[in-house]
Amino acid sequence: MSDSVSEGLYLLDYGAGNVRSVFNAVEALGHKISLISHPSDFDKAKKIIFPGVGSFGHAIESMKKKNLIQPLLEYIKSNRPLFGICVGMQVLFEGSQESDSPGLAIFPGTVTKFNDSSKPVPHIGWTTPVLVQELPESLSSIKSHLTTDSFYYFVHSYAVPYIENHKNLYTVNTVTKYHDETFISSICSNNIFATQFHPEKSGKSGLNLLDFFIKHFQPINTFPSPKFFSNITSQPSSRVIACMDVRSNDQGDLVVTKGDQYDVRESSQNNQVRNLGKPVELAKRYYLEGADEVTFLNITSFRNIPLNDTPMLDILKEASKSVFVPMTVGGGIRAISNPQTGENWSPVQVADAYFLAGADKISIGSDAVYSAEKFIKNNLTKDGSSSIEQISFVYGSQAVVVSIDPRRVYVDNPSSTKHHAIQTSIKGPNNESYCWFQCTVNGGREGRDIDVVELATSIQILGAGEILLNSIDKDGSNSGFDLELISLVKSSVSIPVIASSGAGNPSHFYDAINIAKADAVLAAGIFHRNEVSISESKQYLASKNINVRPAI
């Protein structure tokens, strides 16, 4: 790519969010991009990409603190192109139900919260934008990027609702349907192009769209008279996620390992840690095979200080250069103090390090259990002290996943336990017909007196945006997911639930989605051992009429 195309291309870094993803996506396209981090940088900019991750209020307040609001408004007034992404689109409106801070009011309207009584919220997943307006000639080539074959990645609880025939709709480019609500998924007005979805995390479709903006987008001063298309059929798809459990092996290298009911040592080979490959190489492979997300779990981080675990941060940095779908990282996300040096890190500082290294979501395991226990003890009162509350305040709940490691505890009679017990078709060792699901910490090593329903409902109130639901009983078994566990959790919360542990073939994915109503399915062993590929899994799901983003 010639430097003239890239010249003057800037990325607005207001210090709250993962700018690395956009940076890497632009560089992978062969362009150069510089950071705007000071008001004077706006003068040099010819095109700006304005990525937004996190909450509306935090984005506005961070920009205020850095004195970026006035220069941004002047930049927009000067008719130079701007590409707003997600919260970078939302702040262009007058305000949001998410915050009392006013927006930039470039566009009329308020960003509102999805209604979670009928569907999982946040909306997390891949779906297609639907063009609702005839576009001007200069934008006709954008149409090829906004067809119903182009899936983009959305992650948000708030959106600008689409109101048909509203007088301001001349700015609407595409809309997207999320169950019963239709919202604006992209706008195009004069010098502004903005999307609710994340092109930098939308694989090839997203990279093409960014490339279009960088190479071809010019301000459009005249729009043809509105001519709306009303065939809005897009619907969210089910996600297929590849998970890598990462730890040091006995030689000290970070490897992808895999447990059998959480035991990652191979008894037939001198008790060595199983080594199933290198994390970055596997992540790249899964991206190319069509994974909708990749997850890294640093499974022994409870033993050490994750911020000193720079190899894990290096893995993320390296993977984010070639993996353009969302990456989640878990392991050791909590408040940390180092007794040797006296240093202290807040949970947000620990999360910052992971986000800056390229993570899009962080996953909290043990610390979520302790937070839920405290929340229940305090009569369901939030006091702002938990890692979930603190990180979701800054990055938004959609960036906070809670990873649950439950195991079955069998009872003869539901009244013999204070915990939520279900009747089960998988009988216990003494032929018991009931069980409850006990939450554990430290990689399943310690059982706690809290069940999965108590944990799931508490962490939702504390601000988690998604649940990664493992099962110690099913982990590594290839015998299918624990459908009873997934159904129980799904019926207890309104946030999305990722089914994990036990996948042995694609029909297990179908059952988790179709029977247990999981929002996404995750597997490790079958993908690492090449028993089933991600594309085969997706083809199978599509053949069963499950809406999935086709593998690329």
86 marked among binding-site residues: yes
Structure tokens at 357: 């290294």
Structure tokens at 293: 């997300």
> How open is the CA angle 176-124-182, to the nearest 5 degrees?
20
Q: Please say which residue, 276 or 488, places its beta carbon nearer to ligand 1PR.
A: 276
Nearest-angstrom CA–CA distance, 5 and 59: 29
Nearest-angstrom CA–CA distance, 482 and 429: 17
Q: Please say which residue, 93 or 354, places its beta carbon nearer to ligand 1PR.
A: 354
The answer to whether 295 and 241 have CB atoms below 8 angstroms apart is yes
- CA-nearest of 104, 16, 21 to 394 is 16
What are phi and psi for residue 170, nearest 5 degrees? Answer: -60, -15
* Distance in Å, CB of 438 to ligand 1PR, minimum: 14
The answer to whether 452 and 471 have CB atoms below 8 angstroms apart is no
- CA-nearest of 377, 407, 496 to 122 is 496
Structure tokens at 108: 């009329």
Catalytic residue of the set 13, 41, 200, 475? 200
* Distance in Å, CB of 55 to ligand 1PR, minimum: 23
Complete DSSP assignment for 423-482: E-SS--TT---EEEEEEEETTTTEEEEEEHHHHHHHHHHHT--EEEE--TTTTT--S---
The answer to whether 285 and 244 have CB atoms below 8 angstroms apart is no
**CA 530 to mean position of chain CA atoms:** 25
* Distance in Å, CB of 442 to ligand 1PR, minimum: 6
The answer to whether 403 and 470 have CB atoms below 8 angstroms apart is yes
Catalytic residue of the set 245, 367, 451, 519? 245
Strands of 312-453 (E only): list them: 327-330, 336-337, 344-345, 361-364, 400-404, 406-411, 421-423, 434-441, 446-451
What are phi and psi for residue 511, nearest 5 degrees? Answer: -65, -40
Residues that bind ligand 1PR (CB under 6 A): 243, 245, 258-259, 262, 264, 297, 299, 301-302, 330-333, 363-367, 403, 405, 443, 470, 475-476, 500-503, 523-525
Residue 245 known to be catalytic? yes
What are phi and psi for residue 520, nearest 5 degrees? Answer: -155, 155
Q: Please say which residue, 216 or 303, places its beta carbon nearer to ligand 1PR.
A: 303
Question: What letter represents residue 106's amino acid?
Answer: I
18 marked among binding-site residues: no
Catalytic residue of the set 289, 405, 482, 519? 405
Residue 318 known to be catalytic? no
**Could you tell me the CA-to-CA distances from 78 to 103, 187, 196, 239 in Å, in that order?**
19, 19, 24, 41
Residue 484 known to be catalytic? no
Which residues are catalytically annotated? 86, 198, 200, 245, 405
